[in-house]
Amino acid sequence: MILWWLQQVALTLIAIFFLAFGIQILIGAYGLDDPFTFVMVFFSSNLIILISLTLLIGFVYRGYRVYRELRRDAPPNGES
């Protein structure tokens, strides 16, 4: 079970990295001079942001759902 949690944390960190990477690309797009290049970089950075944000929400939701299920199945504090 600990391996599953490590995998979820790693995937969440990767999604956060790509979210930050997409935001950096979006900021850099505004410094471009060529309109065609600007449009292509703008839309590609928005796609990177959209995909990474969707994956991030999915990983966090899955972790929360499993955590809630584990808490529900755990015995009360006084019992073993």
Residue-level pLDDT at 5? 92
pTM of the model: 0.83
Residue-level pLDDT at 19? 97
- Rounded CA-CA distance 13/23 in Å is 15
Residue-level pLDDT at 79? 61
Place of tokens 């995937």: 11
**pLDDT in tens for each of the 80 residues of the chain?**
899 999 999 999 999 999 999 999 999 999 999 999 999 999 999 999 999 999 999 999 999 999 999 888 877 775 65
Residue 28 counted as domain residue? yes
Amino acid identity of 79? E
How many domains is the chain built from?
Answer: 1
Can you give the residue range of the structural domain that contains 37?
Answer: 15-70
Residue 23 counted as domain residue? yes
Largest CA distance in the chain: 68
